Protein backbone atom coordinates (compact mmCIF):
# COMPACT_ATOMS: atom_id res chain seq x y z
CA UNK A 1 0.00 0.00 0.00
CA UNK A 2 2.99 2.30 0.22
CA UNK A 3 2.62 3.71 3.72
CA UNK A 4 5.61 5.86 4.49
CA UNK A 5 4.86 6.74 8.08
CA UNK A 6 3.67 3.57 9.81
CA UNK A 7 3.76 5.16 13.26
CA UNK A 8 1.43 7.95 12.16
CA UNK A 9 -0.85 5.50 10.37
CA UNK A 10 -1.04 3.26 13.45
CA UNK A 11 -1.77 6.27 15.67
CA UNK A 12 -4.58 7.33 13.32
CA UNK A 13 -6.20 3.89 13.46
CA UNK A 14 -5.94 3.73 17.26
CA UNK A 15 -7.33 7.26 17.52
CA UNK A 16 -10.24 6.21 15.34
CA UNK A 17 -11.03 3.43 17.81
CA UNK A 18 -10.78 5.91 20.69
CA UNK A 19 -13.20 8.19 18.87
CA UNK A 20 -15.61 5.26 18.54
CA UNK A 21 -15.47 4.88 22.33
CA UNK A 22 -16.61 8.50 22.62
CA UNK A 23 -19.23 8.54 19.87
CA UNK A 24 -20.75 5.04 20.06
CA UNK A 25 -21.56 4.17 23.66
CA UNK A 26 -23.82 1.22 22.84
CA UNK A 27 -21.47 -0.81 20.63
CA UNK A 28 -20.35 -4.14 22.11
CA UNK A 29 -16.63 -3.34 21.93
CA UNK A 30 -17.16 -0.01 23.68
CA UNK A 31 -19.26 -1.62 26.40
CA UNK A 32 -16.60 -4.30 26.92
CA UNK A 33 -13.73 -1.82 27.28
CA UNK A 34 -15.85 0.48 29.45
CA UNK A 35 -16.75 -2.35 31.82
CA UNK A 36 -13.14 -3.46 32.05
CA UNK A 37 -11.08 -0.25 31.97
CA UNK A 38 -13.10 2.96 32.35
CA UNK A 39 -16.27 1.99 34.19
CA UNK A 40 -18.23 4.80 35.76
CA UNK A 41 -16.72 7.43 33.50
CA UNK A 42 -15.84 8.55 30.02
CA UNK A 43 -12.99 7.46 27.78
CA UNK A 44 -11.34 10.89 27.91
CA UNK A 45 -11.33 10.76 31.73
CA UNK A 46 -10.01 7.20 32.00
CA UNK A 47 -6.77 6.52 33.83
CA UNK A 48 -4.17 4.03 32.70
CA UNK A 49 -4.66 1.69 35.69
CA UNK A 50 -2.92 -1.67 36.02
CA UNK A 51 -3.26 -5.20 34.63
CA UNK A 52 -3.75 -3.79 31.13
CA UNK A 53 -4.04 -5.37 27.75
CA UNK A 54 -1.73 -4.18 25.00
CA UNK A 55 -4.74 -3.04 22.97
CA UNK A 56 -6.14 -0.88 25.78
CA UNK A 57 -2.76 0.70 26.51
CA UNK A 58 -2.32 1.53 22.83
CA UNK A 59 -5.79 3.09 22.52
CA UNK A 60 -5.38 4.94 25.83
CA UNK A 61 -2.22 6.57 24.49
CA UNK A 62 -4.33 8.40 21.89
CA UNK A 63 -6.30 10.30 24.56
CA UNK A 64 -4.05 13.35 24.36
CA UNK A 65 -4.54 13.59 20.60
CA UNK A 66 -8.30 13.28 20.93
CA UNK A 67 -8.40 15.89 23.70
CA UNK A 68 -6.54 18.33 21.43
CA UNK A 69 -9.31 17.89 18.90
CA UNK A 70 -11.96 19.12 21.34
Percent of the chain at pLDDT exceeding 90 = 66
If you average pLDDT over residues 28-55, what whole number do you get?
90
**What's the whole-model pTM score?**
0.80
C-beta of residue 23 within 8 angstroms of C-beta of residue 43: no
Q: Which residues of 15-31 are buried (b: 16+ CB within 10 A; e: fewer)?
A: bebbebbeeeeeeeebe
Q: What are the domain boundaries of the chain?
A: 6-68
Residue 4: what pLDDT? 82
Q: Give the pLDDT band (50/70/90) at residue 5.
A: confident
More confident residue, 22 or 4: 22
Q: Nearest CA to 45 among 23, 20, 63?
A: 63
Q: Give the pLDDT band (50/70/90) at residue 51.
A: confident
Amino acid sequence: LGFRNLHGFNLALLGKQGWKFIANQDVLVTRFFKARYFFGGKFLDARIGHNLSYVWKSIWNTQALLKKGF
